[in-house]
Amino acid sequence: MSIGIGVIGTGVMGAEHARILRHETPGAHLAGIFDANADRAQTVASGATVFSDPQSLIASDQIDAIVIASPDATHAALTRACIAAGKPVLCEKPLASSAADALDVVQAEVALGRRLIQVGYMRRFDPGYQEIKRVRDTGELGGPVLLHNVHRNVRAPEWFNGSMAVTNSFVHEIDISRWLLGSEMVSAHVEAGPGGEPLMITMKTDKDEIVSTEVFVNAGYGYHVHVELVGRQGTVSLAPASLTLLNRDGAGGHSYPDNWVPRFEEAYRKQMADWVSAVKTGASVGASAWDGYVASAIAEQVAEALAGNGVAPLRYGPRPSLYD
């Protein structure tokens, strides 16, 4: 049976999720679309029902499950509406634009007593990151001592404001670091370069590992994401995510994409396929609402530290047993 998916929001990510659903996801079909910009919704829908508001999409019996890809500030209220309707959700990161809102979503799910939310931390489905986790889990590198992350964008999107380099970009590094190391972050220290960027964030984990992250959202030359895990007996890092090497004019090298969509194409496809399978069986995959809350809670405290003395003793509540 093919399940009907509704997509809320048709910006860069909503349009990409709709495309993946239409062309690359067996067992599911794009059944409905909502976007505040009706023309944009119509273009992306190509035949699917265009709803005039997100509530009617969520309530419709054509829609079995929902992808939320609208602006960050709308995520929490929409995921809560889906929980109230008892429908599974793949919500783009971040889960909410504040830790308090993210915790409200967690509490709504805990009150329901079953997990309906997956947060779109798609790197967990990227073959490179999965290989690094596999190597780490074999123990062949010895105990991990350091994780170096690099997060560089060509330029910040025009809708970036205030501390979004932390709450919208750095959140990926929080999630992937927790997932790769299987550790919780206990403290953070943040510094900004001249004029406010790049950011350099150093976190300590509950196992005393160091996690260093550079976030440079106006790096200019290309979309470049990198990680190196350092163990006591070796290291493992991502190789350049490029299909070809070009030699020309006395130089050689690989190219970088403009943004995250081509870089994480395979991860987005795999994330959708695994989510659709999980919806069918009632299983849970990927980042949970709890993971989404922890990422947003840490990001919020790092953003406060950036505006203050640079130091954040990280705090978040105990994990409810629903997420064990």
Give the interface with ligand ISE as residue ranges (CB under 6 A).
153, 168-169, 172, 217, 260
Minimum CB separation of residue 171 from ligand ISE in Å reads: 8
Select 87 or 152, whichever has its Cβ closest to ligand ISE. 152
Minimum CB separation of residue 295 from ligand ISE in Å reads: 12
- How far apart CA 67 and CA 90 sit, in angstroms, is 5
Minimum CB separation of residue 59 from ligand ISE in Å reads: 28
- Report yes or no: 4 and 63 within 8 Å, Cβ to Cβ: yes
Select 119 or 278, whichever has its Cβ closest to ligand ISE. 119
Classify 177 in phi/psi space as left (phi over 0), alpha (psi -120 to 50) or beta.
Answer: alpha
Q: Which of 112, 294, 84, 106 is nearest to 203 (CA)?
A: 294
Structure token digits, residue 304: 């406060």
Q: Give the CB-nearest residue to ligand ISE.
A: 169
Select 11 or 310, whichever has its Cβ closest to ligand ISE. 11
Minimum CB separation of residue 235 from ligand ISE in Å reads: 23
Minimum CB separation of residue 102 from ligand ISE in Å reads: 16
Minimum CB separation of residue 260 from ligand ISE in Å reads: 4
- How far apart CA 15 and CA 293 sit, in angstroms, is 25
Minimum CB separation of residue 91 from ligand ISE in Å reads: 13
Give start and end residues of each alpha helix (H) in 197-264.
Answer: 260-263
Q: Which residues of 73-108 are buried (b: 16+ CB within 10 A; e: fewer)?
A: ebbbebbbbbbeeebbbbbbbbbbbbbebbbbbbeb
CB-based contacts of 276, cutoff 8 Å, min separation 6: 3, 5, 25, 27, 28, 65
Minimum CB separation of residue 259 from ligand ISE in Å reads: 7
Select 158 or 249, whichever has its Cβ closest to ligand ISE. 158
Minimum CB separation of residue 268 from ligand ISE in Å reads: 10
Residue tagged 């509950």 (tokens) = 206
Structure token digits, residue 92: 């783009």
Select 115 or 172, whichever has its Cβ closest to ligand ISE. 172
Classify burial at 163, counting beta carbons within 10 Å of its beta carbon; exposed 0-12, middle 13-18, buried 19 or more. Answer: middle
- How far apart CA 53 and CA 39 sit, in angstroms, is 14
Select 161 or 281, whichever has its Cβ closest to ligand ISE. 161
Residue 202: Cβ within 10 Å count: 13
Residue tagged 């919208």 (tokens) = 168
Select 31 or 117, whichever has its Cβ closest to ligand ISE. 117
Select 141 or 289, whichever has its Cβ closest to ligand ISE. 289
Select 260 or 316, whichever has its Cβ closest to ligand ISE. 260
CB-based contacts of 52, cutoff 8 Å, min separation 6: 34, 38
